[in-house]
Amino acid sequence: MPAHAKSDDNASCQRPAPPEREYYARADDYRRDVEAYYGAASAYIACLDAFVADAQRRYEHDLAEVARQYQEERDAEISDYQYERQSVMEELRRTVDEHVRALPE
């Protein structure tokens, strides 16, 4: 593979290297390889598009999972606070009732 050709290991896509005119004795051979290069470049772009689409789906799923976990934690915290608030309010009512009963008539 020429030095300027690049393999994207993450996407398993092989970037094609364009043919270099200076290495061809016949124009027909060069044109044939240019056409093959365009076909390979189109396949490379399609491979990258598929990789990007897959990454987007994966990250959207991961983000949705994080949001769901956050919502569950938030709901649990709110529930705990509501229970605590209710307990405090009940204790306050009992204390007020006790003080009211202790007042002289």
Q: Which pLDDT score, from 0 to 100, does residue 7 have?
A: 44
Q: What's the structural domain count of the chain?
A: 1
CB 7 within 8 A of CB 1: yes
Specify the long-range contacts of residues 33-42, CB closer than 8 Å, at least 24 apart: 40/14, 40/16, 41/16
* Residue 93 within a domain: no
Q: Which amino acid is at 51?
A: F
Average pLDDT, the chain: 88
Q: Which residues contact 17 (CB under 8 A, 6 or more apart)?
A: 1, 2, 4, 5, 37
* Residue 80 within a domain: no
* Residue 50 within a domain: yes
pTM over 0.75: no
* Residue 98 within a domain: no
β-bridge mates for residue 14, sequence order: 7
Give me the domain span that covers residue 58. 7-74
CB 29 within 8 A of CB 35: no
